Chains A and B, each alone.
Chain A
Amino acid sequence: MQPSDLSAVDLVNAVRQGDLTAVRCTEAYLDRIAALDGSINAFLSVDREGSLRTAASIDERRKAGKPIGPLAGLPVAVKDALCTTDQPTTCASKMLAGFRPPYDAEVVARLRAADAVIVGKTNMDEFAMGGSNENSAFGPVHNPWDLARTPGGSSGGSAAAVAADMAPVAIGSDTGGSIRQPAGLCGITGLKPTYGRVSRRGLVAFASSLDQIGPMARSAADCALILSSIAGHDPGDATSLDAPVPSYTADLERPLEGVRIGRVAAHFGAGVDPEVAHAVEEAFAAFRAAGAIIKEIDLPHADAGVATYYLVAPCEASSNLARYDGAHYGHRAEPGKTSGGFESALVEMYCRSRAEGFGPEVKRRIMLGTYALSAGYYDAYYAKALRVRRLIRQDYLDAFAEVDLIGGPVSATAAFKLGEKTGDPLSMYLVDLYTVGTNLAGVGGISFPCGFTKSGLPIGFQLQGPALAEQLLLRAADRYQHLTDWHLRRPAIAAQRC
């Protein structure tokens, strides 16, 4: 049996019991990356030496009878938006090409403390802005199920790495669906925890009030394993929640008897691919069969979600990305190429560094946000968006008074072709239709496969839960995965022996 055939839970147990060394496990995954990633482009950097060194030290400690962490020997791929001291952190931007942070993100530190092995940093949409991974300055990621298609985004590299068995688990970040949507399009499981459940310290900020880090893996059980190590209060993140962390793995097997799952009729309106609608309805039926109660609910302001999101997120982004000005670190334009017309050498340096360092989508969002925050426009755009955001949050509060979870599709279609939407930013933004509400409301959501299209592309199902309901989200997904085997299917490329 290959390490890549084992779940993360099994891998960790095998290492703990001495059936598998951390080195062998890490090496197996590194080999798969070396063999497969040339055609997928999921990784921006791979730390072969460093990860093998870490793995060897874990094996030594285990052999010496010393304590090892709960993730000992588990290879983890980390989205390149999280700071790592031993590997570059680029956010897939030319602006940060080669940037080496002097500190580890809190999540990275917690993974290391749990003895996980960080094998590499995954590709993404530049600064997490995008839903197809085509906005990476280092080339798009290819969907392992069909290399001509997008893996989704922005955590597309993390999703593709797990889907192609190049890593048993990965870390993603989700601002408007960036974990759940690529998980859905790549046929894996991805959890966006409640805002504040996982520390954002060291996550390169896109939109601070929406960003949240979460696990991506083959199953809900594997996500639960990772979340147990990364969740919890961080005094270094003022927005982190100071709430106890329950055991996410212990509660998984409790049956779903009596759990109320809301179904929103509007999720099945125009624009939803019939194959997606069918698979999602089947999933509802499976939940019903498992004892859950399906209840029709309404999220009255859901149709304003994308518009609200595309004001709040760019406004925050325009400010968060102001620090990339060439003055202190990152890309700086070479001096002296000016044609004149700039106010001063300083302004010229700013303008040219940013013009060269940022890609078109990042620039578009900075401009949108700058515009919406400007004097005379603030009330009409940003302030109004905040008011609508409150209404959306209230929708969720009202809904969760009636149901325990809300089910539905992750995205309206399965993976689309690379290049299909790049000429039409608006249609690309609509990819986030079903996922942005979770972030605007600050609650949690999980996405997992619930079927395949006739052409063999995975279809995702999304469950959203109230604040701090990660236990229930993971349990519901895990129960579903005990009734179905969609999550066990692997793309042909992953079946290659390496």
Chain B
Amino acid sequence: MLIPHRPEPSPPLAILPTFVCPPERLSESVPDTASAPVTTTATTVPYTTVIGLEVHVQLQTQTKLFCGCSTKFGAPPNTQVCPTCLGLPGSLPVMNRKAFELAVRSALALDCRIASFTKWDRKNYFYPDLPKGYQISQFDLPFSSDGTLEVVDPKGAWSRKVGIIRVHLEEDAGKSMHDEASGVADTRIDLNRAGTPLCEIVTQPDLRSPQEARAWLNELKLLLVYLGVSDCNMQEGSLRVDANVNLHIPVDGGPDAGGRIAKTPIVEIKNMNSFRSVERALAYEAIRQYEEWQATKAEMGKTPKQTRGWDDPAGVTRAQRHKEESSDYRYFPEPDLVPVTVSDEWLAAARQAMGPPPAVLRQTLATTWKISSYDADVLVNQGGDLVAYFEELAGKVGEGKVASNWMQQDVLRTLNERGGTIGEFPVRPAALADLIGRVAKGDFDTSRAREIFAEVLASGRPIDDVVASMGIAAVDDDELVALCRALLAENPKVVADVKGGKEQAAAGLIGQAKKKNPNVNPGKVRAMCLDLIRQM
């Protein structure tokens, strides 16, 4: 059957799935200006989209899973290899304990059950980037299973608890680079990546829309980055996602009306290289499956599971050859490795070494610093370093809400404009707290403080220098009284208007006061002038 080519932009609204869109997450590293418009109201479709994900995460170890080779990204091809990861005759694997530790940390944070006994299995298949002819993985006894990770809309509009079927550890394959230039098909193999530790996370089919899937992936990524187990850099392949999707379509009114639910055949989508691609591919696939179902009425179980690749520029999924699902991996226990046993003590230590996950941190920030859960969400989604910056700032300022406002309106905006990380941000928490403190003391107002903040960022000079060079100095009360008296003398009409009951006429004095002395506080000028007029 021919699947109609469906170019971007997004499909007609009528068949968008049912959901209320989560807001764009700040944690997605790539700015997402080109994505489909965000729908803020629920739209209904005649089916439910059912999605499960398989996520591969490269663990941030110095060395590979079964040998001492470096895992650093970007080295010249085949320079980070040894007999073991090259699969040379006689070479043997030895487990990297650090990788196991990081994997367990991830699983604990996903609320998984950690097996006290786990073993390694060989997954056998031939491919040139798999030099041993098998991948060391985990088959029937993964080190962890039965977890959950919930993603919650910060405004409380929706949430989704996603079950984790299992998390297991395995080694990565190398990279094949197909070069078909100059008429001669040629494949080059880089084995630098072969043997890099990967955590495979398999979810239950609990997600119900492409947008939910994306939001959930953002939460997962945030969690793993918080834990320090992975940099989750999709460009470098340290996080890869495959998605399984099908539709549940009520037939004859659905079960409530005496009908039933038809399930379309499950499709596995591969080759998505950003969370945005995941969302787009799933949205495309839901529509494609619905159209196919309308045309063929094909249901799950009657046709084999299909694998489709996402073509990002074209915005379509395409059927891949059936080769992969027909292969028999002949899993069997890896005889070169010994099983791993996990003791309660070791597990307790691993749990203790773990920092709070984002979900806990959001609550902690909201209650400790009395900020809204929305604000806490924005801060936490920026990562642990930014949270640390905020907490230091809030501690010094003594007012969480004020610190949070400065973070969101000034620090984050500047970061977004300038790029870079919070660690490199030139205004450190102590300096910013000092600036905020001076506003509280009445040295100058917030708008003046923003000017100072901007100048500090632009010049890189210390706050005191900037304050001095901008001629900023506190205006004492005698000065203020003298200034106001002069103003009133110059503006008899204003005085008359105020006396006549039009207090708002005093506003006209502020601009003149600022001209006489830019450091005056507009509020104080107004209050003083009114006082003086009353005394007249």
Contact = CB atoms under 8 A, between A and B. Distances in A.
B89 A201 contact: no
Interface residues of B, number: 30
B335 interface: yes
B88 A235 contact: no
A375 B90 contact: no
A325 B86 contact: no
Nearest to A373: B330
B117 to A, nearest CB: 16
Interface in A66-125: 81-83, 89, 91, 96, 99, 101-103, 105
28 contacts: A81-B90, A89-B89, A91-B89, A101-B83, A101-B89, A102-B83, A103-B83, A201-B90, A202-B90, A202-B91, A203-B90, A207-B335, A238-B92, A238-B338, A239-B337, A239-B338, A316-B335, A319-B122, A319-B124, A321-B133, A322-B124, A322-B134, A327-B189, A328-B86, A328-B128, A373-B331, A374-B328, A378-B330
Contact of A322 (B94, B126, B128, B189): B126
Interface string A270-296: 000000000000000000000000000
B92 A201 contact: yes
B90 A374 contact: no
A158 to B, nearest CB: 17
Contacts of B89: 83, 89, 91, 96, 99, 101, 204-205, 323
B518 interface: no
A322 B125 CA distance: 8
Contacts of B336: 205, 208, 238-239
B395 interface: no
A101 B91 CA distance: 10
A237 B83 CA distance: 13
A436 interface: no
Interface in B330-349: 330-332, 335-338
A329 B128 contact: no
A208 B335 contact: yes
B474 interface: no
A242 to B, nearest CB: 11
A201 B331 CA distance: 23
B87 interface: yes
B94 A328 contact: no
Given A316-B335, A374-B330, A327 B90 contact: no
Contact residues on A (Cβ < 8 Å of other chain), bracket: 35 or more
B75 interface: no
Of the candidates A81, A203, A238, A321, the one having the most CB atoms from chain B within 10 angstroms of its own CB is: A238
Contacts of A209: 335
A373 B90 contact: no
A205 B90 contact: yes
A322 B133 contact: yes
Interface string B204-245: 000000000000000000000000000000000000000000
Contacts of A403: none
Contacts of B338: 238-239
Interface in B477-511: none
Given A239-B336, A346-B128, A373-B124, A101 B88 contact: yes
Given A83-B89, A327-B128, A373-B332, 4 more contacts: A209-B335, A237-B94, A239-B338, A318-B124
A285 B4 CA distance: 88
Interface string A127-167: 00000000000000000000000000000000000000000
A209 B330 CA distance: 17
Contacts, number: 103
Nearest to A82: B90
Interface in B113-131: 122, 124, 126, 128, 131
A406 interface: no
Contacts of B124: 318-319, 322, 373
Of the candidates A83, A239, A325, A375, the one having the most CB atoms from chain B within 10 angstroms of its own CB is: A325
Contacts of A345: 185
B42 interface: no
B250 interface: no
A318 B91 CA distance: 16
A350 B83 CA distance: 21
Contact of B332 (A91, A103, A315): A315
Contact of B94 (A101, A236, A382): A236
Interface class of chain B by DSSP:
loop
A336 to B, nearest CB: 13
A101 B87 CA distance: 12
A235 B94 contact: yes
A319 B133 contact: yes
A58 to B, nearest CB: 26
A103 to B, nearest CB: 5
A34 to B, nearest CB: 29
A236 B92 contact: yes
B93 interface: yes
B132 interface: yes
A382 B88 contact: no
A45 interface: no
Given A323-B131, A373-B124, A101 B332 contact: no
Contacts of A99: 89
B90 A105 contact: yes
A375 B122 CA distance: 14
Nearest to B84: A236
B93 A238 contact: yes
A282 B83 CA distance: 49
Nearest to B336: A208
A218 interface: no
Of the candidates A209, A319, A328, A378, the one having the most CB atoms from chain B within 10 angstroms of its own CB is: A319
B304 to A, nearest CB: 15
A379 to B, nearest CB: 12
Contacts of A318: 124, 330
B177 interface: no
Nearest to B129: A327
B209 to A, nearest CB: 35
Contacts of B3: none
A203 B92 CA distance: 9
Nearest to A96: B89
Interface in B403-449: none
Of the candidates B185, B332, B338, the one having the most CB atoms from chain A within 10 angstroms of its own CB is: B332
Interface string A298-333: 000000000000000001101101110101110000
B95 interface: yes
A323 B87 contact: yes
Nearest to B321: A343
A481 interface: no
B330 A101 contact: no
Contacts of A208: 335-336
Of the candidates B83, B94, B134, B330, the one having the most CB atoms from chain A within 10 angstroms of its own CB is: B330
A238 B94 contact: yes
B80 to A, nearest CB: 15
Contacts of B83: 101-103
A197 interface: no
